Chain A
Amino acid sequence: MPTLTVNGKVRSFDAEPDTPLLWVLREQLGLTGTKYGCGVAQCGACTVLIDGAPMRSCVRPVSTVTPTQNVVTIEGLSARGTHPLQKAWVALDVPQCGFCQSGMIMAASVLLAAKPEPTDADIDAAMTNICRCGTYNRVRAAIKAAAQGGDARRAGLAIQHSDGSTT
């Protein structure tokens, strides 16, 4: 049985070679945080990392991912949502319906890894994911909050959290 390395673990799966990586993740490995949105690499809801590079997994045949390449999904981005982006997303209440947000966060993680202090133009270029609820401006604010030297309070949203903090 073929295998993949996903979130640091070797996993075997049962799928035809041309099956998109997305559906192996979702249906064979039970990792449903990666979403199907379009199937044609347009919306970015299926974004995962392969050896640190962003990949729209809905168009990537699973047979083209080698067993030793490191696939990271939203479930493997951090332990218990502790990645700076995830914390910034929570601090600024970014998600509305939330469906596109896994892909947004994965795409943003690549951006921050390459550019710790991204400009607006950097964000525009890297974040081509579709959000129909329209969270774009909070996504932008959260990326800046998670960036080097960032601070969620600078977004000026003054959101009151149940732990008593305000961001």
Chain B
Amino acid sequence: MSARVSRRRFLGASAAAAGGLVVGFHVPFASAAGAKGDAMPEINAWVLVRPDDTVVIRIARSEMGQGTLTGLAQLVAEELDCDWAKVTTEYPTPGQNLARSRVWGNFSTGGSRGIRDSHEYVRKGGATARTMLVQAAADGWRVPASECAAAASVITHAASGRRTTYGKVAAAAARVSPPTEVALKDPKDWKIAGKRLARLDTADKVTGAQIYGMDLRMPGMLNAAIKACPVFGGKLASFDDAAVAKRKGVKRVVRVGDNAVAVVADTWWRAKTALDALPVEWDYGANAKASSAAFANVLKAGLDASDAVVGNRVGDARAAIASAPRRIEAVYSYPHQNHATMEVMNATARWTAERCEVWTPTQNGEAALAAVSEAAQLPLAQCDVYKTLLGGGFGRRGASDWIRQAVLIARQMPGTPVKLIWSREEDMTQGRYHPVTQCKLVAGIDDKGNVTALHMRISGQSILAGVAPANIKDGKDPVVFQGLNPPGPESSFVYGIPNLLIDHAMRNPHVPPGFWRGVNLNQNTIYLECFVDEVAHATGQDPLALRRTLLAKSPKSLAVLNAVAARIGWDTPAPAGVYRGLAQTMGFGSYVAACAEVSVSPQGDLRIRRIVAATDCGYAVNPQQIEAQVEGSFAYGLSAALYGECTVKDGRIEQRNFDGYRVLRMDEMPAVETIVMPSGGFWGGVGEPTIAVAAPAVLNAIFAATGLRIRELPLKNHSLAKA
């Protein structure tokens, strides 16, 4: 494989390095790499090498547990041919990215894109740096670079027996002109990428030394607790700061934008308790009486409304259904959910008339920088954002609402660093929620039980309408159709059905939506995969056999389905009292399938015993981390299936903490067997796709066990007891 490199990109990087831009991240804690600017030549934007051969690899994407930091470092190190044992990492800041013409590309971390969208340019970064290091050694020895070889940070010249290390030639390499073209390795030759390597960021997480945004401390720092109007769209009317002004530690009570109030104190606990005691009046506005129950009726009406936008059309589904000898119909629904990251939203901001800096866990450093600039009323170049390790993201931290709040507070206290921490209650009730939708599915069946037509009508909330309305063209939010799109590389409908219509009637409640790990693939896969199961049972077909028929022209999907069927032993009976369910989907560029084994007691107690999941993500950069992601995706997806639901009453979210918003715990976690089966030739995502098959595999297994077809999530609202 050969690939052209943008010469300007790497020249720009080197030129900027000469200006010393890499140094001085101003991050006031020891774990931040990169503070030692002395004697650490930057070979290019991605690679720095210290004289002791330590290699620092720059990571643009945010690490939130998904392992992207390690995976991206593996890709750079693979092409760099460096000693993996001496690799460390650091984040460039979005401000630096801006100053260097976005040399590190996109910082946004979501959509399972971390590796699949940047593998090529980070590998080129590594390959370019290797070429420059070898050239520097060759120049020093006055031999052609083509006679030199590099491995594990050691450069050798076989003919003369000479040998040096990356660290020794790094300073010279930084002055070498970058090559205009570099060849990338064939993945079959990988020695670092593709291996089951341990993560780079584990050690401090087991000793308490790891610093998260919430843990930051700075000289003179104050702490803020905040309360926003509990009804979305409502405003702050007034507050009585005199009532708390004399409490110990309280420094200020400040208005934050038009809908929130914050108490700033010496400690967060004092700020929080003062806020609890603060008399506040709200103007709840037009949504004061909104409820989930009322909105469910709006969604229901959308199932038969005439204002739908088409996302996928093959043949004439309406006509084919009308003329079919048999019709099968079902309606499903999926609720709002909170991301519930373990680390609540937080940001530390320091504002002066000249500069605004923010330290925060964010999935989107560049959007965060833009939010800081706007809230600070300062140009981008006078602002920066320092990313901290995220205590969970799941899409919530792609937004910047809490960052804006932190800056608005800090702006009222010039020069003082202020750390804003949300309470869990604030986090639960001020989320950016998984969109709520319903879906009506109608299938036309011929006399032989073949599915001749399918109409899926989705009625419900659009994420883009809430977060990026400019991206809605002709009334269409393309994200709504994840997993249901026409054939393509991203999130496609993979079944062969001759007449297909998938359309969406957009119905937006006042609850702000967000990208929630798995996004719309989650409920779309429940709708489709449970309905396919319904069709199989209604037509007397085996659920695996029907899927195999429908996937005849989708070999990658068929392969993952067959892999889970083989591993679970679909063709042999399950143990007594154990029942199986299947699901498959294509999302975020990958092909996945799962089989669940469950048992249900006569009293209705569900036990999810075992999950077998297969993933074809094209290339597997770190198989043991893919296994960890797949396993984790089932914890997330099964939390959603069993318990996940945020309901609205009087315009506000009712669930305020983990007692009202239950999530899966250890005693409910099934054994997960992950089959990683990369078939090559494409790059698919890993963090999200398998979430989508968790719920439908289990729901289909529950049907097999009980004959109960659950069509309204979550499961907690249903009894599985024998009638």
Chain A residues within CB distance 8 Å of chain B: 15-16, 19-20, 23, 26-28, 30-40, 42-43, 45, 73-75, 77, 80-81, 86, 89-90, 93-102, 105, 123-125, 127-140, 157-163
Q: Which of these binds chain A: B46-54, B351-359, B658-666?
A: B658-666
Q: Which of these binds chain A: B212-220, B304-312, B498-506?
A: B212-220
In the complex, how many angstroms separate the beta carbon of B597 from the nearest chain A beta carbon?
15
Specify which of A15, A97, A135 lies most central, judged by the most chain B CB atoms within 10 Å of its CB: A97
Q: Which of these binds chain A: B92-100, B203-211, B251-259, B471-479?
A: B203-211
Docked-complex contact B343 and A99, CB < 8 angstroms: yes
Docked-complex contact A30 and B217, CB < 8 angstroms: yes
Docked-complex contact B658 and A93, CB < 8 angstroms: no
In the complex, how many angstroms separate the beta carbon of B216 from the nearest chain A beta carbon?
9
Docked-complex contact A15 and B269, CB < 8 angstroms: yes
Q: Which of these binds chain A: B280-288, B385-393, B484-492, B551-559?
A: B385-393
Nearest A residue to B339 by beta-carbon distance? A132
Docked-complex contact A40 and B658, CB < 8 angstroms: yes
Docked-complex contact A132 and B340, CB < 8 angstroms: yes
Neighbouring B residues of A42 by C-beta, 8 Å: 657-659
User: Which residues of chain B (651-675) have a CB below 8 Å from chain A?
Assistant: 657-659, 663-667, 669, 671-672
Q: Which of A19, A127, A132 contacts B341 (CB 8 A)?
A: A132
Docked-complex contact B632 and A98, CB < 8 angstroms: no
Neighbouring A residues of B212 by C-beta, 8 Å: 32, 35, 99
Say yes or no for B67: interface residue by CB 8 A criterion: yes
Docked-complex contact A93 and B666, CB < 8 angstroms: no
Specify which of B341, B342, B343 lies most central, judged by the most chain A CB atoms within 10 Å of its CB: B342
Say yes or no for B482: interface residue by CB 8 A criterion: no
In the complex, how many angstroms separate the beta carbon of B109 from the nearest chain A beta carbon?
13
Binary interface encoding of chain B residues 327-356 relative to chain A, with 1 for a CB under 8 A from any of its CBs, else 0: 000000000000011111000000000000
Nearest B residue to A80 by beta-carbon distance? B207
Neighbouring B residues of A124 by C-beta, 8 Å: 666-667
Say yes or no for B633: interface residue by CB 8 A criterion: yes
- Given A95-B205, A97-B64: A27 and B631 interface contact (C-beta under 8 Å): no
Assign chain B's interface to a size class.
Answer: 35 or more
Docked-complex contact A93 and B665, CB < 8 angstroms: no
User: Which residues of chain B (413-445) have a CB below 8 Å from chain A?
Assistant: 421, 423-425
Neighbouring A residues of B672 by C-beta, 8 Å: 137
Neighbouring B residues of A139 by C-beta, 8 Å: 666
Nearest B residue to A40 by beta-carbon distance? B657
Neighbouring A residues of B206 by C-beta, 8 Å: 74, 81, 86, 89-90, 94-95, 101, 105
Cα-based distance from A150 to B658 in the complex (angstroms): 33
Neighbouring A residues of B636 by C-beta, 8 Å: 132-134
- Given A23-B267, A40-B657, A74-B207: A127 and B392 interface contact (C-beta under 8 Å): no
Q: Which of B197, B343, B639, B659 contacts A40 (CB 8 A)?
A: B659
Say yes or no for B296: interface residue by CB 8 A criterion: no
Neighbouring A residues of B209 by C-beta, 8 Å: 33, 75
Docked-complex contact B424 and A39, CB < 8 angstroms: yes
| Pairs A–B under 8 Å by Cβ, sample size 8 | A35-B391, A42-B658, A86-B207, A89-B205, A127-B667, A129-B665, A130-B342, A137-B631
Say yes or no for B105: interface residue by CB 8 A criterion: no
Docked-complex contact B211 and A32, CB < 8 angstroms: yes
Nearest A residue to B87 by beta-carbon distance? A162
- Given A74-B208, A134-B631: A162 and B342 interface contact (C-beta under 8 Å): no
Cα-based distance from A161 to B624 in the complex (angstroms): 12
Cα-based distance from A105 to B204 in the complex (angstroms): 13
Docked-complex contact B343 and A136, CB < 8 angstroms: no
Neighbouring A residues of B671 by C-beta, 8 Å: 137
Docked-complex contact A27 and B268, CB < 8 angstroms: yes
Docked-complex contact B195 and A160, CB < 8 angstroms: yes
Nearest A residue to B672 by beta-carbon distance? A137
Docked-complex contact B658 and A160, CB < 8 angstroms: no
In the complex, how many angstroms separate the beta carbon of A7 from the nearest chain B beta carbon?
10
Say yes or no for B9: interface residue by CB 8 A criterion: no
In the complex, how many angstroms separate the beta carbon of B81 from the nearest chain A beta carbon?
16
Nearest B residue to A42 by beta-carbon distance? B658
Docked-complex contact B657 and A39, CB < 8 angstroms: yes
Docked-complex contact B203 and A123, CB < 8 angstroms: no
Say yes or no for B481: interface residue by CB 8 A criterion: no
Docked-complex contact B666 and A138, CB < 8 angstroms: no
Cα-based distance from A43 to B680 in the complex (angstroms): 41
Q: Which of B424, B624, B659 contacts A157 (CB 8 A)?
A: B624
Q: Which of A97, A101, A134, A138 contacts B389 (CB 8 A)?
A: A97
Say yes or no for B378: interface residue by CB 8 A criterion: no
Cα-based distance from A23 to B635 in the complex (angstroms): 29
Q: Which of B84, B211, B342, B423 contacts A45 (CB 8 A)?
A: B342
Neighbouring A residues of B666 by C-beta, 8 Å: 123-124, 127-129, 131, 136, 139-140
